[in-house]
Amino acid sequence: MPGEAQLLPGTLDLLILKAVSLGPLHGYGVLLRIGQISGQALLIEQGALYPALFRVVRQGLLKASWGISDNNRRAKFYELTAAGRKRLQDETEGWNRLAAAMGSALAAQAEEI
Amino acid sequence: MRLVAYLRCIGAKFLKPAQMELEMEEELGSHIECRADDLERSGLDRAEAERRARVEFGGRQRFKEEAREALGGNFAENLARDVRLSIRVLRKSPGFTLIAVFTLALSIGANSIVFALLNSFILRPSNIPNSESLYGIQHGRGHWMGSSYPDYLDLRDRNRSFDGLAAFSIAQAGFDTGESAVSVWCQESSGNFFDALRLQPYVGRFFHASDERGPNSAPFVVLSYSFWRNHFAGDRGVVGRVVRLNKHPFTIIGVSPPEFHGILLFGDFEIATPLVNQEQIEGQNNLNSRGIESVFMTIGHLKPGVTPAQAVSDLNSIGAYLRQNYPKEQAPADFSLGRPSLYGEYFGGPVRAFLTALMLLAGLILLAACANLGSLFTARATDRSREIALRLAMGAGRSRILRALLTEAILIALMGGAAGLFGSMALLQALNAWQPVPRYPQFHIPVYVDSRVYVVALALALLSGLLFGIVPAKQVLATDPYQVVKSGARETGRRRFPIRELLLAVQIAICAVLVTSSMVAVRGLLRSLHSDFGFEPANAMLMDTNLEMAGYRGDAVVAMQKRVLDGVGKIPGVQSAGLIDWLPLEGAHSNSSAIFREDTADLRTSNAAAWPAVYRVSPGYFDAARTTLLSGRAFTWHDDKDAPRVAVINNQFARKLFGSVTKAIGRHYKMPDGARVEVVGVVQDGKYASLTEDPQPAMFFPILQAPSSAASVVVRSHRDPMQLAAAMRSVLRSLDSGLPSYVESWRQELELPLFPSRMATIALGVLGMMGAMLSITGIFGMAAYSVGRRLRELGIRLALGAQRSEILQAALGRSIKLLAFGSAAGLVLGIFASRVLAFIVYQATPRDPFVLTGVVVAMALLGVLATWIPAQRALRLDPVTLLREE
């Protein structure tokens, strides 16, 4: 896969928040959604998702409830809390600033200095 | 909001761990099923799809564990992991662990021993029912508990505060079941004794107040449980049997309960007889004399609702009544109440003071050990700073690292505490079984180890673990992983007084206190062993006989005693022999009597000129005891009933009454009964009631004029003590085979009076040694560490041409300064602490050049010993290798 990128530490939580912000999801759904919105560029080891998910739940950014999935299986669905929405917004802005700064820094040419 | 979520998480985990686990399992399972569904849709068969899904998911257990940790609040699990980690870490440095555990085991062991003693003697209630309301009546400034029998009767019948007031006295008696007589300790008790103490018999019955119908009216014996087991093999049929006590028939009526060992803690009672039968046991009936102390101790339970203060004022009003009605006698005054188990304040006061001081010292030992271990841990944390920094860099929280260090500390503390407790249990058991005075097997130190001791040991272990575990905390918190990993473990910016050095100074001061007090005690003991007792215990054998036990009466007593002395005097190698009624320093038996100037007409005790101790001796006693005659003559066999009454007095008496030794000879004084006594000789002063007393007046009467059936024969000889003892026994057997006797050397006999100061000296000596050991390891650790840390600097200095002495100065100067400072502070404190010691140990004074120089030399020696190896290391530095290595 040519478009595959290395996941930076700490970004998984942000991705989970983003994925869930688009609509309540169960664990497997979160994985699929991340793959989908990143254009299959960011792949996460399936089991590694859960420690991160639980951590985010513990921080009060997500809440969980049991429900029925599309293919009729019992699954735990996650949705964003108010705190989670705020955190997503803050982190998105922070990320954008960092990305912009990194982008312009790396794009710098010798004659521009 | 986040807090609520967090708490809900932890709450769920904590309260419903099984459900959490199930939900997690189900969630992960559902994930794999969903994935399998997708894979099946892409064309795989179901079984293959499920297998592939599981493989893709990865290490399920590992993720579950991580998820569990992400949920937080895994106190028990984290603790288990910390403990596992700590054990691994400690195993890697066995030397460190061993030293730490050993140090703690010693100090916690010392603490639990001292606490167990304090607990058994002072804190723990006795085995007597309702002992919280049981008090002994003491009077006077000396808190003496004895009184005359008539005074006791007045106290018993006139008080309104006690629920029955009992009295007892202790005497030795010959106990004869028909085979051979054994000498037993007989507790002569008032009739109401067992009822007043609310005791129930184990077998048979007790005697009661109603059994008392005048002198010798109640020939009954109650056996103690252990005496019954030992001498009658626990035979219940023993009740009703007639035995002979001093040849008088007594009926065994019962056995006391197993948990009752008598009132006094140090001596178990063996048999009890009614006090009204005093004449049969002691050979004389003093129950009607107000001037003679027949009662050793008076005890009783306070009535419900009566406070001790009310009881004291009640007793004092009885005292006032006694003084008014019996002006000639010295009525007891200044009443107070004391705990009976240690004979009230008289003995309990010094014991309590000493044990409290000992507990304080033991606490100091533990504190010193904690300081020691604290600096060890800090040094270790410094050495491990690379590891700590690495863990910090890998994302471990500082709290997590601190927790791990603390876990290590507490683990060591618990191990040390367990080892210390175990060791002290063994020692205490030995102490409990120990019979320090072979002659009196009943005399022992009863130590009970109950849950309180365990709890205190555990609490001390945990506390000390926290204490020394917390010392390196600041250092860990200040660790900057980036700096450490970059430049290695090197401290930047040294403070003026690093915590390590402060701890060390404190520790050295504590140790100096311990060394000082143990030296003061040892010195005091040595002095009391070699002080002038007024007799010479070396090369003297004693034979204790009580003719009363063998049925001798009246003139037969003195005749027999003369035969014994003659017989013993004929043993080859015997230089001299003489007898005395009760040996000086023999304890509770010291009698004293009021005496009056010759011109005193009104012989009431308030007019007494002195209260000298009274001894009755045979001709030859002063010679045999090596009591120096200062002036006049000793007794002869002509000082008998037909001759005028004579006495030999001591120096103190002579100077007090007659001004000087020479003026006393030929003068007279009066006894309370009006008899005139002529002074024929003056002997040197001695110790009579206790080793620590000031010079007391004493007077000696000839046995022919003042007979006594109790007697200790003193035999002076250079012969082998074993042979001599055998010869003495055979002389006595040839004169009367049924006479119980006890032969021992005078030195052995003195073990009892010397016992307290000996114990104090041993205890302090042990604590002092522990203190010394701790300061050696402490100074050694500090010096080794400072040399090790500055190796490179020292190497550079050497390379630049520094002298060896300068190197030593740089490497060890600080340690030596700390040692000097700590020792000086400790010495001053120790001198203050030694004042407490003066109560127990005879002639314990810190104002003794020997002690002062001793402490200074000891501390200096400790310093040299502890810095020797580090100093050698500093001196052997080779700058070239050192600098190349760096």
- Between residues A110 and B861, the one the model is more confident about: B861
User: How far apart are alpha carbons B34 and A70 in whole angstroms?
Assistant: 10
B chain contacts of residue A51, beta-carbon cutoff 8 Å = 63, 66-67, 69-70
B chain contacts of residue A82, beta-carbon cutoff 8 Å = 1
Cα-flanking dihedrals φ and ψ of residue B539, to 5°?
60, 30
Indicate yes or no: CB of B63 within 8 angstroms of CB of A48. yes
User: How far apart are alpha carbons B545 and B542 in whole angstroms?
Assistant: 10
Same domain, B202 and B318: yes
User: How far apart are alpha carbons B824 and B512 in whole angstroms?
Assistant: 8
Indicate yes or no: CB of B30 within 8 angstroms of CB of A75. yes
Domain boundary residue, one of B316, B334, B352: B334
Indicate yes or no: CB of A58 within 8 angstroms of CB of B9. yes
3-state secondary structure of B803: coil
| Residue B506 DSSP symbol | H
CA-nearest of B760, B124, B115, B780 to B420 is B115
Residues in chain A, total: 113
Residue B347 lies in a domain: no
Residue A6 lies in a domain: no
pTM above 0.95? Answer: no
Residue B806 lies in a domain: yes
| pLDDT of the residue at B884 | 67
**pLDDT beyond 50 at A5:** yes
* Residue recorded with tokens 């309370």: B672
Question: Closest approach of chain A CAs to the CA of B52, in angstroms?
Answer: 12
Same domain, B591 and B737: yes
A56 CB-near residues (< 8 Å, 6+ apart): A13, A16, A17, A62, A84
For A:44-83, CB contacts with B below 8 A are 45-48, 50-55, 57-60, 63, 69, 71, 73-76, 81-83
Using CA coordinates, name the residue in chain B closest to A81.
B1
* Residue recorded with tokens 């001498």: B231
User: How far apart are alpha carbons B544 and B104 in whole angstroms?
Assistant: 48
Please tell me which of the candidates B4, B60, B71 has its beta carbon nearest to residue A54: B71
Indicate yes or no: CB of B1 within 8 angstroms of CB of A52. no
Residue B871 lies in a domain: yes
Same domain, B770 and B840: yes
Question: Closest approach of chain B CAs to the CA of A89, in angstroms?
Answer: 17
Residue B646 lies in a domain: yes
Q: Are strands B162-176 and B181-189 parallel, antiparallel or unpaired?
A: antiparallel
Question: Closest approach of chain A CAs to the CA of B374, in angstroms?
Answer: 37
Range of the domain at A24: 11-104
Same domain, B664 and B583: yes
Same domain, B552 and B562: yes
Using CA coordinates, name the residue in chain B closest to A44.
B57
Using CA coordinates, name the residue in chain A closest to B23.
A76
Task: Decide if B41 touches A, using CB distance below 8 A.
Answer: no
Task: Decide if B57 touches A, using CB distance below 8 A.
Answer: yes
Same domain, B307 and B164: yes
B chain contacts of residue A46, beta-carbon cutoff 8 Å = 31, 35, 56-58
Task: Specify which residues B203 forms β-bridges with.
Answer: B255
Indicate yes or no: CB of A28 within 8 angstroms of CB of B2. no
User: How far apart are alpha carbons B20 and A111 in whole angstroms?
Assistant: 61
Residue A25 lies in a domain: yes
3-state class percentages of chain A: helix first, strand second, coil last, to nearest 5:
55, 15, 30
CATH of the domain at A92: 1.10.10.10
Task: Decide if A102 touches B, using CB distance below 8 A.
Answer: no
Indicate yes or no: CB of A45 within 8 angstroms of CB of B58. yes
Same domain, B405 and B385: yes
A chain contacts of residue B67, beta-carbon cutoff 8 Å = 50-51, 53-54
B743 CB-near residues (< 8 Å, 6+ apart): B541, B542, B543, B544, B725, B728, B729
Please tell me which of the candidates A26, A28, A51 has its beta carbon nearest to residue B66: A51
Using CA coordinates, name the residue in chain B closest to A70.
B34
B90 CB-near residues (< 8 Å, 6+ apart): B96, B97, B408, B411, B412
Domain count within chain B: 5
| Residue B93 DSSP symbol | -
Domain count within chain A: 1
Cβ–Cβ pairs < 8 A, chains A and B:
86
Same domain, B480 and B558: no
Residue A74 lies in a domain: yes
CA-nearest of A101, A102, A99, A79 to A91 is A99
3-state secondary structure of B699: strand
Burial label, A47 (beta-carbon count in 10 A; 0-12, 13-18, 19+): buried
Residue A111 lies in a domain: no
State how far Cα B375 lies from the chain centre: 32
Residue A36 lies in a domain: yes
User: How far apart are alpha carbons B812 and B830 in whole angstroms?
Assistant: 26
Same domain, B57 and B98: no
| Residue B212 DSSP symbol | -
3-state secondary structure of B267: strand
Residue A20 lies in a domain: yes
Same domain, B655 and B724: yes
B chain contacts of residue A58, beta-carbon cutoff 8 Å = 5-6, 9, 70-72
Dihedral angle over CA of B307, B310, B311, B313, nearest 10? 160
Residue B846 lies in a domain: yes
Q: Which residues of chain B have pLDDT under 50?
A: 1, 489-496
User: How far apart are alpha carbons B461 and B416 in whole angstroms?
Assistant: 7
Task: Specify which residues B542 forms β-bridges with.
Answer: B714, B744
Same domain, B660 and B556: yes
Residue B339 lies in a domain: no
Q: Give the per-residue SS3 of B98-151.
A: HHHHHHHHHHHHHHHHHHHHHHHHHHCCCCCCCHHHEEEEEECCCCECCECHHH
> Which segments within B726-855 are labelled E, that is strand?
741-745
Range of the domain at B23: 2-73
| Residue B295 DSSP symbol | B
Indicate yes or no: CB of B37 within 8 angstroms of CB of A71. yes
3-state secondary structure of B448: coil
Residue B400 lies in a domain: yes
Residue A109 lies in a domain: no
3-state secondary structure of B59: coil
CA-nearest of B155, B116, B121 to B136 is B155
Confidence grade of residue A1 (pLDDT, cut at 50, 70, 90):
very low
Indicate yes or no: CB of B23 within 8 angstroms of CB of A76. yes
Indicate yes or no: CB of A76 within 8 angstroms of CB of B30. yes
Same domain, B467 and B391: yes
Residue type, B19: Q
User: How far apart are alpha carbons B595 and B333 in whole angstroms?
Assistant: 20
CA-nearest of B169, B172, B215, B217 to B193 is B169
Residue B591 lies in a domain: yes
Residue A93 lies in a domain: yes
